[in-house]
Structure 1
Amino acid sequence: MIKNKNIDHLKSLVSALPEEPGVYQFFDENDKIIYVGKAKRLKRRVASYFNKVHDNAKTNIMVRKIFDIRHIVVNSEEDALLLENNLIKKHQPRYNVLLKDDKSFPWICIKKERFPRVFVTRHLTKDGSEYFGPYTSVKMVRTLMDMIRSLYKLRNCNLSLSAEGITNGKFKVCLEYHIGNCKAPCIGKIKTEEYNETIQAIRNILKGNIRTVTSHLKEKMNEYAENFKFEEAHLIKEKLQLLDKYQSKSTIVNPSINNIDVYSILDDEDVAYVNFLKIVNGAIIQAHTIELKKKIEENREDLLLLAITEIRQKIFSTAKEILVPFEIDLPFEGVKCLVPQRGDKRKLLDLSLRNVKYFRLDKLKKGDKSQKQTHSDRILERMRTDLRLKDLPTHIECFDNSNIQGTHPVASCVVFRNARPYKKDYRHFNIKTVVGANDFASMEEIIYRRYKRLLEEDKSLPQLIVIDGGKGQLGAALNSLDKLNLRGKISVIGIAKKLEEIYFPGDPYPLYLDKNSETLKTIQHLRNESHRFAITFHKQKRSKSFIGSELDKIDGIGPKSVQKLIQRFKSVENIKKATLDEIISELGNKKALTVWKYFN
């Protein structure tokens, strides 16, 4: 039995409940709704919460928190379902399924006015205008509107085009007429009857009756051709081709399948996804997927029924036939529920299921921060195993040298945190104590400088150091760590370029990782990033050195003046092109004149 301090009072409330369809609400001691449910028989359903221990821990916790029960009796199970859905959306109780869908869907409006406009809106106004939709896909709306604009030249101004105003010449044509996007009803270039024919054709397209439009256009095309009006006939032919192209893209099954809704569901431990397709004349005119966040022990049937109710309410669906993947007790009057096993309707159900799978996959790919972190943890755990490390290498640093025949020796340090580049901590080094091309000595210098500074500044040390090179560079790095008493406190490996072998301190035999290993790919990423960073710095040094060497030849211009010119003009060519006044602004009159005369 359920432990609830208020159990006797609750049982007395349950005993008074009727055996009729309705909605029940559970309240906590603060008089706050914590759960809303529906039932064919209120008394039997509510009693089931208190006469057993539930498998789901959240359900048991919820039952312990119930302080009061209230109910609403309705005429039918359908009414109970709709009321439950509305109360959940209004109160958002803690233990109810959370419908993660708060979109305001777009509609296509045919405005009630003389020479009606056709436009997209998200707001419905009760002014007699016609609204088609709502469309769950913005892409679908754009496709329809682009096609309508290509087929028919409608006005898009908001002028009140009264017959009197047009007759009296009150209006003037705008740019839309001159560029061929409007037939200028404002000055009587098109008759009301002809314009309304166009609106009727658009109305049929939006209802999915494209065949009605195409047959009408074919009649007009043949009529023009018989009267030798070939230019007008060709324009209609182009419209027919556009409609055929649109229909061929949207028609996916037998065109005789008309006005049905298709639903499929895919559920995980904590969340479920429901996809919806609206089919008219064999074409998908609406498609949408919603997410339901589970709270207690909801089954697939209840989740699917909740989603169907929500979607039908939101898009004002009047479909009398619904396709679903399994049998459910659908309470909507006059609506038939089918579970197709074969044929075109089965294809539609399979398509819906494919859509919901793609939606779920996309959600998982995007993921939240914690999911991304899980991916990083897997890589780091793999690295710890493969590289025989004591700790998880959440902080890794990689070093590389760069010089050409001993000139401008530089080095780089790149930092990865949680297996990803952390560019904020990247560092460049100018080699200070080494003369000529000596990679081992250069590596020893930069490792010493890097970790001496981290120790002095009391900053965190990495769990792993990666050296771009083989045994020699690895040995040089270890010499510096010995001087700083860090050997053994930080793991160090070297990666040789030839065969991508990994060297460990004191081990003469390298480790060869699988080429598809995530560990090797991460180390290669580190090595490539450090190499790129070092090369970029080296190129900058060489470029500045070239400028400096040219400027050093000018008598009376010292290193500080050279540095100012380099910072301002960046290249010798720019200094040559500079005016005397520009150079004066950096060096003053006397030195500027010296530089200007040298180049001119």
Structure 2
Amino acid sequence: MTVPVDTDPASLPEPQAEPTPEQASLDRAQVWSRLLLEVAGLPGLPGVYRYFDAKGDVLYVGKARDLKKRVSNYFQKTHGGTRIGQMISRIVRMETTVVRSEAEALLLENNLIKTLNPRFNILFRDDKSYPYLKIASHAFPRLAYYRGAVDRKHRYFGPYPNAWAVKESIQLLQKVFLLRTCEDSFFKHRTRPCLLYQIKRCSGPCVDLISGDDYQRSVLQAEQFLLGEQETVMQSLQAQMMDYAERMEYEHAAEIRNQISALSKVLHQQSVDTAVDKDVDVLAVKVQGGRACVNLAMVRGGRHLGDRAHFPVHVQDHVLAEEEQESTCVDLAQATEVRVLEAFLAQHYLGGVVPSLLVLSHPVDPALIAALSEHCEHKIQTLIQPREDRRAWLDMAITGADLALARLLSEEGSQQARTRALVEALDLALDPGDSSGEGSDPLAKLRIECFDISHTAGEATQASCVVYEQHRMQSSQYRRYNIKDITGGDDYAAMKQVLERRYGSAKPEHIPHVVLIDGGKGQVSIARQVFETLGLDLSIIVGVEKGEGRKVGLEELVFADGRPKLQLAPTSAALMLVAQIRDEAHRFAITGMRAKRASVRTGGSRLEDIPGVGPKRRAKLLQRFGGVRGVGSASMEELATVDGISRELAEEIYRALH
């Protein structure tokens, strides 16, 4: 249900090109009066509210258990020159949505924040999904690293804070329980055990060196271990060893003894009391210098798996908690930390896995925890003043947050210094106006795009474009361009094509301040020709020419507008930034070129993507032709000779790979 408010931007007075101060004041008074009338008509029900500026951009999204009470609070107080005052002065329109409960309000608020990216909301960028340890469904299940959506077909354990934690756990399980990690296709076609069996990291199920029942027992013990039931696993192994000994199967008993020894060593190395907790998340928040860090440490199955630091944006511009009537924080010095932590809890856990216990560095709104519990359908407890092991976990998380934030501030300070040095070296003029949410720092507006060409002997030519803005590389804006219809190895033609495609129809506001070209006079000359044809400013073209002997630090900057070459000192911060951007462009180009080359050499498609080719037929094709490349080289007649491959399917495979 949506409260009937004025949600149509067309209904607002059209702004004049050059309003006088008197006109602007009158227009603002009219907007303010209309907003106050809308606020007076709001219901006292739970819901979500959204504020918009004159451009239609969302300024802020918030939730409330009482919409009228919460929204009225913004318009009845005098906020002066605070950030909340700056936001309120820009509101020209609002929308509200009534929901049935606070849990629904929390869910809707979270979705809107992620979708709309309001300037005055704390936002945690979506990172890569957390990895899991997967035990695949199979007669002889394999251990696997997994990242993505989970299903009910397999068993998943986690999530883990990083890939290292998963791989370390897999190695541990291999050492103790001797479970396989090989692909099913590899498993099916083994005639003798692999190296992992020789080094006692696998029990050799591929060649029947272990029975199905014994292997399944090992899988069950591994699952119990991951669930934190280490004592149960130890007792099971000891009973198994004694059983073998009583039957005088001393070799098997010795193998189990070795497993017990390995497991005992692992448990001794763990710095946690596994009898207390199994799955716990520990969260610590730190705010300093306009930036914030939430450090999330994970305990799974009683094992501390490490932590991951998260850095939100819009911390400087967020609406301060102490300004809001329903704030749960008494100590104003901790208000921002609480708001950041609450934002993380909502954005991170909604739709994700939530353990039953959260150890927190700051108290949060109980209504938030209640809403999370309702959403995930199990009770969530929070602990603010932990003791013993939990205290140690929280202390480690707090230290991790402090170190991660200090490192971020140091890196950002260094990047800002590099940006400033490059602006001065190139004598760039930046507009000191609004800096797109980055405070009052005009250097944050500097946008650099860098191009690089990559190929191998003329094969799989690709151009890459990377972007530097707001003092950091913007990987979401990177682009690759497949170069077509040129002579293999012609880098000049490739550069001409990518620049024409990139800037041929670009709007003036989308042209960067600097276009870096990884190359010398020749590449810069090509860029100059393209820019002259397109009517673009030649002064923004900067070539990075390798120095004498191609030594790092001796690079020279080449300009397209006739300026003499510029050689920066090897220790120059400006040169460091140029090298950083150029190297990133080269890395991005190389990875794309390798992927394209592999695709070209294997026919541009994986066998699994071809309709009608399932795991069994894929395995037969690989066995018959020795690999994907061999399948791609086979004729239709040769493909049709494989058992299970009809003439029609052979034609389909051939077309897909050529």
* Fold shared per TM-score above 0.5: yes
Cα distance in 2 for residues equivalent to 1:360 and 1:283: 25
Corresponding residue number in structure 2 for 1:47 = 72
In structure 2, relative to structure 1, the CA distance for the partners of 1:88 and 1:4 (3 Å cut) is farther
Q: Which aligned pairs between 1:132-143 and structure 2 lie closer than 5 A?
A: 132-143=157-168
Q: Which amino acid aligns with 1:262?
A: V
Cα distance in 1 for residues equivalent to 2:265 and 2:196: 28
Corresponding residue number in structure 2 for 1:409 = none
**Are the aligned partners of 2:133 and 2:143 in contact in 1 as well (CA < 8 Å)?**
yes
The offset of 1:341, in angstroms, is: 5.9
**Are the aligned partners of 1:33 and 1:93 in contact in 2 as well (CA < 8 Å)?**
yes
Corresponding residue number in structure 2 for 1:551 = none
Cα shift readout 1:82-116 (whole Å, capped 9, x = no counterpart): 32122111221222212134222211112223322
Q: Which amino acid aligns with 1:237?
A: R
Q: Which aligned pairs between 1:520-531 and structure 2 lie closer than 5 A?
A: none
Corresponding residue number in structure 2 for 1:261 = 281
The offset of 1:345, in angstroms, is: 2.9
Cα shift readout 1:437-467 (whole Å, capped 9, x = no counterpart): xxxxxxxxxxxxxxxxxxxx999999xxxxx
Q: Which aligned pairs between 1:145-156 and structure 2 lie closer than 5 A?
A: 145-151=170-176, 152-154=178-180, 156=182
The offset of 1:136, in angstroms, is: 1.3
In structure 2, relative to structure 1, the CA distance for the partners of 1:184 and 1:252 (3 Å cut) is closer
Cα distance in 2 for residues equivalent to 1:205 and 1:302: 37
- Tell me which of 43, 54, 62 is aligned to 1:18: 43
Cα distance in 2 for residues equivalent to 1:33 and 1:264: 29
Of 124-133 and 8-17, the range deviating more from structure 2: 124-133
Cα distance in 1 for residues equivalent to 2:277 and 2:567: 67
The offset of 1:32, in angstroms, is: 3.3
**Are the aligned partners of 2:281 and 2:355 in contact in 1 as well (CA < 8 Å)?**
no
Corresponding residue number in structure 1 for 2:365 = 329
In structure 2, relative to structure 1, the CA distance for the partners of 1:372 and 1:255 (3 Å cut) is farther
**Are the aligned partners of 1:171 and 1:187 in contact in 2 as well (CA < 8 Å)?**
no
Q: Which amino acid aligns with 1:96?
A: N
Corresponding residue number in structure 2 for 1:290 = 310
In structure 2, relative to structure 1, the CA distance for the partners of 1:368 and 1:145 (3 Å cut) is farther
Q: Residue 328 of structure 1 aligns to a residue in which SS?
A: coil
The offset of 1:284, in angstroms, is: 1.5
Q: Which aligned pairs between 1:385-464 and structure 2 lie closer than 5 A?
A: 423=554
Cα distance in 2 for residues equivalent to 1:55 and 1:217: 70
Cα shift readout 1:230-287 (whole Å, capped 9, x = no counterpart): 4333322332333233333333347313433322111124221112223346432352
In structure 2, relative to structure 1, the CA distance for the partners of 1:270 and 1:339 (3 Å cut) is same
> How many residues of Structure 1 are paired with residues of Structure 2 in the alignment?
383
Cα distance in 1 for residues equivalent to 2:146 and 2:48: 35
Corresponding residue number in structure 1 for 2:183 = 157
Q: Which amino acid aligns with 2:119?
A: R
Corresponding residue number in structure 2 for 1:346 = 391
Cα distance in 1 for residues equivalent to 2:122 and 2:81: 14
**Is 1:121 equivalent to 2:162 in the alignment?**
no
Cα distance in 2 for residues equivalent to 1:375 and 1:223: 73
Cα shift readout 1:543-587 (whole Å, capped 9, x = no counterpart): xxxxxxxxxxxxxxxxxxxxxxxxxxxxxxxxxxxxxxxxxxxxx
**Is 1:306 equivalent to 2:324 in the alignment?**
no
Corresponding residue number in structure 2 for 1:382 = none
**Are the aligned partners of 1:172 and 1:187 in contact in 2 as well (CA < 8 Å)?**
yes
Of 29-38 and 171-180, the range deviating more from structure 2: 171-180
Of 327-336 and 151-160, the range deviating more from structure 2: 151-160
Cα distance in 2 for residues equivalent to 1:232 and 1:56: 77
Corresponding residue number in structure 1 for 2:428 = none
The offset of 1:54, in angstroms, is: 2.2
Which is higher, the Rg of structure 1 or of structure 2?
Answer: 1
- Tell me which of 89, 94, 118 is aligned to 2:119: 94
Cα distance in 2 for residues equivalent to 1:313 and 1:174: 48
- Tell me which of 392, 402, 409 is aligned to 1:364: 409
**Are the aligned partners of 1:255 and 1:281 in contact in 2 as well (CA < 8 Å)?**
no
Cα distance in 2 for residues equivalent to 1:278 and 1:80: 28
**Are the aligned partners of 2:49 and 2:94 in contact in 1 as well (CA < 8 Å)?**
yes
**Is 1:176 equivalent to 2:212 in the alignment?**
no
Q: Which aligned pairs between 1:101-250 and structure 2 lie closer than 5 A?
A: 101-124=126-149, 126=151, 128-151=153-176, 152-154=178-180, 156-159=182-185, 173=191, 176=194, 179-180=197-198, 182-186=202-206, 188-250=208-270
Cα distance in 1 for residues equivalent to 2:149 and 2:75: 46
Cα distance in 1 for residues equivalent to 2:290 and 2:163: 29
In structure 2, relative to structure 1, the CA distance for the partners of 1:337 and 1:356 (3 Å cut) is same
The offset of 1:204, in angstroms, is: 1.6
Cα distance in 1 for residues equivalent to 2:240 and 2:108: 51
Cα distance in 2 for residues equivalent to 1:344 and 1:284: 11
Cα distance in 1 for residues equivalent to 2:45 and 2:111: 20
Q: Which amino acid aligns with 1:112?
A: S
Q: Which amino acid aligns with 1:318?
A: P
Cα distance in 2 for residues equivalent to 1:14 and 1:288: 41
Of 148-157 and 86-95, the range deviating more from structure 2: 148-157
Cα distance in 1 for residues equivalent to 2:196 and 2:159: 33
**Are the aligned partners of 2:554 and 2:567 in contact in 1 as well (CA < 8 Å)?**
no
Cα distance in 1 for residues equivalent to 2:565 and 2:189: 75
Cα distance in 1 for residues equivalent to 2:183 and 2:362: 50
Q: Which amino acid aligns with 2:343?
A: L
Cα distance in 1 for residues equivalent to 2:409 and 2:304: 26
Q: Residue 151 of structure 2 aligns to a residue in which SS?
A: coil
Sequence identity of aligned pairs in percent? 26
Q: Residue 367 of structure 1 aligns to a residue in which SS?
A: helix
Q: Residue 299 of structure 2 aligns to a residue in which SS?
A: strand
Cα distance in 1 for residues equivalent to 2:395 and 2:296: 12
Cα distance in 2 for residues equivalent to 1:129 and 1:44: 48
Q: Which amino acid aligns with 1:339?
A: I
Q: Which amino acid aligns with 2:218?
A: T
In structure 2, relative to structure 1, the CA distance for the partners of 1:4 and 1:208 (3 Å cut) is farther
Q: Structure 1 stretches of 5 or more lacking a match?
A: 162-169, 378-420, 426-456, 463-521, 523-600
Corresponding residue number in structure 2 for 1:316 = 353
Q: Structure 2 stretches of 5 or more lacking a match?
A: 1-24, 321-335, 371-378, 423-551, 557-562, 573-658
**Is 1:66 equivalent to 2:110 in the alignment?**
no
**Are the aligned partners of 2:244 and 2:253 in contact in 1 as well (CA < 8 Å)?**
yes
Using the size of structure 1 for normalisation, the TM-score is 0.56
Cα distance in 1 for residues equivalent to 2:174 and 2:395: 34
Cα shift readout 1:128-175 (whole Å, capped 9, x = no counterpart): 2122122112221111011122231426232499xxxxxxxx965255
Using the size of structure 2 for normalisation, the TM-score is 0.52
**Are the aligned partners of 1:177 and 1:183 in contact in 2 as well (CA < 8 Å)?**
no
